[in-house]
Amino acid sequence: MTPAAARAALDTARTEAQQARALVDALAEQVRSGDETVTAEQISTQRELADMADLRVTAAERKLTAAVDADLDARATATGDNIRALVAEDSTQPLITAVKAVMTAVQTLVQAAAAREATIREAAHEGASLNRELGWSPDDPWPSRQYGFMAQSTEPVNVLAVDQGRAVATPAGELLGIALAAALVGQDGARTTAADLMTSMPGAVPNRAVGVPGLVDALRLSPEEWQALDARARSDAHGQGRQPITEGSAAA
Protein backbone atom coordinates (compact mmCIF):
# COMPACT_ATOMS: atom_id res chain seq x y z
CA MET A 1 0.00 0.00 0.00
CA THR A 2 1.27 3.42 -0.94
CA PRO A 3 1.34 6.21 1.66
CA ALA A 4 -1.38 8.02 -0.28
CA ALA A 5 -3.66 4.97 -0.26
CA ALA A 6 -2.90 4.36 3.42
CA ARG A 7 -3.81 7.97 4.28
CA ALA A 8 -7.07 7.62 2.35
CA ALA A 9 -7.88 4.38 4.20
CA LEU A 10 -7.12 6.08 7.52
CA ASP A 11 -9.41 8.99 6.68
CA THR A 12 -12.19 6.53 5.85
CA ALA A 13 -11.66 4.58 9.09
CA ARG A 14 -11.73 7.76 11.15
CA THR A 15 -14.94 8.91 9.46
CA GLU A 16 -16.59 5.54 10.12
CA ALA A 17 -15.46 5.61 13.78
CA GLN A 18 -16.85 9.10 14.23
CA GLN A 19 -20.14 8.04 12.71
CA ALA A 20 -20.31 4.94 14.94
CA ARG A 21 -19.66 7.01 18.07
CA ALA A 22 -22.23 9.54 16.95
CA LEU A 23 -24.83 6.76 16.71
CA VAL A 24 -24.01 5.62 20.26
CA ASP A 25 -24.39 9.18 21.50
CA ALA A 26 -27.65 9.57 19.57
CA LEU A 27 -29.11 6.38 21.06
CA ALA A 28 -28.06 7.45 24.53
CA GLU A 29 -29.67 10.85 24.04
CA GLN A 30 -32.89 9.20 22.89
CA VAL A 31 -33.02 7.24 26.14
CA ARG A 32 -32.36 10.41 28.13
CA SER A 33 -35.22 12.05 26.27
CA GLY A 34 -37.61 9.28 27.34
CA ASP A 35 -37.62 7.08 24.25
CA GLU A 36 -38.47 3.64 25.63
CA THR A 37 -38.10 1.91 22.29
CA VAL A 38 -34.29 1.98 22.54
CA THR A 39 -33.00 -1.18 24.16
CA ALA A 40 -29.84 -1.86 26.10
CA GLU A 41 -28.95 -4.44 23.49
CA GLN A 42 -29.10 -1.80 20.74
CA ILE A 43 -26.80 0.54 22.66
CA SER A 44 -24.44 -2.31 23.55
CA THR A 45 -24.31 -3.49 19.97
CA GLN A 46 -23.65 0.02 18.67
CA ARG A 47 -20.89 0.52 21.25
CA GLU A 48 -19.26 -2.71 20.14
CA LEU A 49 -19.44 -1.49 16.56
CA ALA A 50 -17.89 1.84 17.61
CA ASP A 51 -15.12 -0.01 19.46
CA MET A 52 -14.46 -2.08 16.36
CA ALA A 53 -14.34 1.12 14.30
CA ASP A 54 -11.76 2.56 16.72
CA LEU A 55 -9.69 -0.62 16.36
CA ARG A 56 -9.87 -0.25 12.58
CA VAL A 57 -8.56 3.33 12.99
CA THR A 58 -5.60 1.98 14.97
CA ALA A 59 -5.02 -0.65 12.29
CA ALA A 60 -5.16 2.02 9.57
CA GLU A 61 -2.69 4.17 11.51
CA ARG A 62 -0.25 1.28 11.75
CA LYS A 63 -0.65 0.53 8.06
CA LEU A 64 0.09 4.18 7.27
CA THR A 65 3.22 4.08 9.42
CA ALA A 66 4.33 0.90 7.69
CA ALA A 67 3.57 2.33 4.24
CA VAL A 68 5.50 5.54 4.98
CA ASP A 69 8.48 3.54 6.30
CA ALA A 70 8.41 1.22 3.29
CA ASP A 71 8.15 4.14 0.88
CA LEU A 72 11.04 5.96 2.55
CA ASP A 73 13.16 2.81 2.51
CA ALA A 74 12.39 2.23 -1.17
CA ARG A 75 13.18 5.81 -2.18
CA ALA A 76 16.40 5.90 -0.13
CA THR A 77 17.49 2.57 -1.63
CA ALA A 78 16.76 3.79 -5.17
CA THR A 79 18.60 7.07 -4.56
CA GLY A 80 21.58 5.19 -3.14
CA ASP A 81 21.64 2.94 -6.21
CA ASN A 82 21.42 5.97 -8.53
CA ILE A 83 24.23 7.83 -6.74
CA ARG A 84 26.52 4.80 -6.76
CA ALA A 85 25.86 4.34 -10.47
CA LEU A 86 26.46 8.04 -11.12
CA VAL A 87 29.80 7.99 -9.30
CA ALA A 88 30.83 4.77 -11.02
CA GLU A 89 29.99 6.12 -14.47
CA ASP A 90 31.04 9.75 -13.90
CA SER A 91 33.42 10.80 -16.65
CA THR A 92 35.27 14.04 -16.01
CA GLN A 93 37.51 13.83 -19.07
CA PRO A 94 35.26 16.08 -21.21
CA LEU A 95 35.42 18.73 -18.45
CA ILE A 96 39.19 18.41 -18.12
CA THR A 97 39.65 18.67 -21.88
CA ALA A 98 37.41 21.75 -22.01
CA VAL A 99 39.22 23.42 -19.08
CA LYS A 100 42.61 22.85 -20.73
CA ALA A 101 41.25 24.24 -24.01
CA VAL A 102 40.01 27.36 -22.22
CA MET A 103 43.40 27.78 -20.52
CA THR A 104 45.16 27.51 -23.88
CA ALA A 105 42.79 30.05 -25.42
CA VAL A 106 43.29 32.42 -22.49
CA GLN A 107 47.06 32.13 -22.75
CA THR A 108 46.84 32.85 -26.47
CA LEU A 109 44.66 35.88 -25.75
CA VAL A 110 47.03 37.16 -23.06
CA GLN A 111 50.05 36.83 -25.32
CA ALA A 112 48.34 38.53 -28.27
CA ALA A 113 46.98 41.32 -26.08
CA ALA A 114 50.34 41.90 -24.39
CA ALA A 115 52.16 42.16 -27.74
CA ARG A 116 49.58 44.60 -29.15
CA GLU A 117 49.44 46.64 -25.94
CA ALA A 118 53.23 46.94 -25.80
CA THR A 119 53.39 48.09 -29.42
CA ILE A 120 50.69 50.73 -28.92
CA ARG A 121 52.19 51.98 -25.64
CA GLU A 122 55.60 52.39 -27.26
CA ALA A 123 54.10 54.32 -30.17
CA ALA A 124 51.97 56.42 -27.80
CA HIS A 125 54.93 57.42 -25.63
CA GLU A 126 56.98 58.28 -28.68
CA GLY A 127 54.10 60.24 -30.22
CA ALA A 128 53.35 62.12 -26.99
CA SER A 129 57.04 62.99 -26.59
CA LEU A 130 57.23 64.29 -30.17
CA ASN A 131 54.03 66.26 -29.65
CA ARG A 132 55.73 68.10 -26.78
CA GLU A 133 58.85 68.70 -28.88
CA LEU A 134 56.72 70.07 -31.70
CA GLY A 135 55.57 72.83 -29.38
CA TRP A 136 52.65 71.66 -27.30
CA SER A 137 50.83 74.47 -25.53
CA PRO A 138 47.36 75.02 -24.09
CA ASP A 139 46.55 77.03 -27.19
CA ASP A 140 47.88 74.33 -29.52
CA PRO A 141 47.61 70.96 -27.73
CA TRP A 142 48.12 68.86 -30.87
CA PRO A 143 50.90 70.22 -33.07
CA SER A 144 51.52 66.62 -34.12
CA ARG A 145 48.22 66.70 -36.00
CA GLN A 146 49.93 68.37 -38.96
CA TYR A 147 51.97 65.18 -39.25
CA GLY A 148 48.84 63.05 -39.28
CA PHE A 149 48.94 61.62 -35.77
CA MET A 150 47.90 62.23 -32.16
CA ALA A 151 49.06 60.20 -29.17
CA GLN A 152 48.14 59.89 -25.51
CA SER A 153 50.54 58.23 -23.10
CA THR A 154 48.19 58.38 -20.08
CA GLU A 155 45.25 56.02 -19.55
CA PRO A 156 43.61 55.11 -21.76
CA VAL A 157 46.86 54.89 -23.73
CA ASN A 158 46.08 55.24 -27.43
CA VAL A 159 47.27 56.59 -30.75
CA LEU A 160 45.23 58.16 -33.51
CA ALA A 161 45.98 58.29 -37.21
CA VAL A 162 44.16 61.39 -38.45
CA ASP A 163 41.28 60.57 -40.77
CA GLN A 164 42.07 56.87 -40.40
CA GLY A 165 41.29 55.58 -36.94
CA ARG A 166 42.43 54.92 -33.39
CA ALA A 167 44.29 52.10 -31.63
CA VAL A 168 43.81 51.73 -27.86
CA ALA A 169 46.17 49.73 -25.64
CA THR A 170 43.54 47.35 -24.27
CA PRO A 171 44.88 45.19 -21.40
CA ALA A 172 44.47 41.42 -21.51
CA GLY A 173 42.35 41.51 -18.36
CA GLU A 174 39.74 43.69 -20.05
CA LEU A 175 39.61 41.43 -23.08
CA LEU A 176 39.32 38.35 -20.90
CA GLY A 177 36.55 40.00 -18.92
CA ILE A 178 34.76 40.86 -22.16
CA ALA A 179 35.10 37.27 -23.39
CA LEU A 180 33.80 35.76 -20.14
CA ALA A 181 30.94 38.24 -19.84
CA ALA A 182 29.90 37.52 -23.41
CA ALA A 183 30.26 33.75 -23.02
CA LEU A 184 28.29 33.71 -19.75
CA VAL A 185 25.48 36.02 -20.82
CA GLY A 186 22.42 35.30 -18.70
CA GLN A 187 24.42 33.14 -16.26
CA ASP A 188 24.87 35.43 -13.27
CA GLY A 189 25.84 32.60 -10.92
CA ALA A 190 28.64 31.38 -13.17
CA ARG A 191 30.00 34.92 -13.61
CA THR A 192 29.98 35.52 -9.85
CA THR A 193 31.70 32.22 -9.11
CA ALA A 194 34.36 32.85 -11.75
CA ALA A 195 35.01 36.34 -10.38
CA ASP A 196 35.30 34.98 -6.83
CA LEU A 197 37.80 32.32 -7.86
CA MET A 198 39.94 34.82 -9.75
CA THR A 199 40.05 37.32 -6.87
CA SER A 200 40.11 35.00 -3.84
CA MET A 201 43.10 33.22 -2.31
CA PRO A 202 44.94 30.85 -4.72
CA GLY A 203 43.98 27.94 -2.48
CA ALA A 204 40.40 28.25 -3.74
CA VAL A 205 41.50 26.71 -7.04
CA PRO A 206 42.52 23.26 -5.76
CA ASN A 207 39.70 23.30 -3.22
CA ARG A 208 37.16 23.60 -6.02
CA ALA A 209 39.09 21.55 -8.59
CA VAL A 210 39.13 18.51 -6.31
CA GLY A 211 35.41 18.14 -7.02
CA VAL A 212 36.32 17.08 -10.57
CA PRO A 213 38.46 13.93 -10.29
CA GLY A 214 41.60 14.23 -12.38
CA LEU A 215 41.45 18.00 -12.78
CA VAL A 216 44.03 18.80 -10.08
CA ASP A 217 46.58 16.56 -11.80
CA ALA A 218 45.65 17.96 -15.22
CA LEU A 219 46.36 21.49 -13.96
CA ARG A 220 49.74 20.56 -12.53
CA LEU A 221 52.70 22.17 -14.29
CA SER A 222 55.54 20.21 -15.76
CA PRO A 223 59.05 20.80 -14.37
CA GLU A 224 59.89 22.74 -17.55
CA GLU A 225 56.80 24.95 -17.26
CA TRP A 226 57.56 25.52 -13.58
CA GLN A 227 61.12 26.64 -14.29
CA ALA A 228 59.87 29.06 -16.95
CA LEU A 229 57.74 30.98 -14.42
CA ASP A 230 58.95 34.12 -12.70
CA ALA A 231 58.85 34.34 -8.90
CA ARG A 232 55.39 35.96 -8.76
CA ALA A 233 53.81 33.44 -11.10
CA ARG A 234 55.50 30.56 -9.31
CA SER A 235 54.10 31.77 -5.98
CA ASP A 236 50.58 31.93 -7.45
CA ALA A 237 50.93 28.50 -9.04
CA HIS A 238 52.21 27.03 -5.77
CA GLY A 239 49.20 28.47 -3.96
CA GLN A 240 47.00 26.77 -6.55
CA GLY A 241 48.70 23.44 -5.85
CA ARG A 242 50.10 23.23 -9.38
CA GLN A 243 53.76 22.66 -8.59
CA PRO A 244 55.35 19.62 -10.28
CA ILE A 245 55.35 16.35 -8.35
CA THR A 246 58.85 15.52 -7.22
CA GLU A 247 60.04 12.16 -5.89
CA GLY A 248 59.87 13.52 -2.36
CA SER A 249 56.35 14.93 -2.67
CA ALA A 250 55.15 11.78 -4.47
CA ALA A 251 56.45 9.62 -1.60
CA ALA A 252 54.77 11.89 0.93
Q: Is the pLDDT of residue 139 over 60?
A: yes
Distance CA 96, CA 219 (A): 9
Q: Where are the domains of the chain?
A: 3-89, 115-197, 200-252
Whether the full predicted model's pTM is greater than 0.85, yes or no, is no
50 and 24 Cβ atoms separated by less than 8 Å: yes
CA distance 64 to 58: 10
Nearest of 81, 10, 16 to residue 51 by alpha carbon:
16
Burial class of residue 176 in the structure, from the number of CB atoms within 10 Å of its CB (0-12 exposed, 13-18 middle, 19+ buried): middle
Instruction: Tell me the mean pLDDT in the region 24-39.
Output: 94
| Average pLDDT over every residue of 167-178 | 95
- How high does pLDDT run on average in the chain? 93
- Residue range 180-224, pLDDT digits in tens: 999 999 999 999 999 888 888 778 888 999 999 999 999 999 999
The residue-averaged pLDDT of 84-96 equals: 93
Nearest CA among 81, 80, 156, 151 for reference residue 122: 151
Place 133 in a pLDDT band, splitting at 50, 70 and 90.
very high
Cβ neighbours, 10 Å, residue 18: 14
Q: Please check whether residue 117 is in contact with residue 150, taking contact to mean a CB–CB distance below 8 angstroms.
A: no
Would you mind telling me the total number of residues written for the chain in this entry? Answer: 252
pLDDT band at 252 (very low <50, low <70, confident <90, very high): very low
Asked if residue 102 lies in contact with residue 219, where contact means CB atoms within 8 angstroms, the answer is: no
Of all residues in the chain, the percent with pLDDT exceeding 90 is: 88
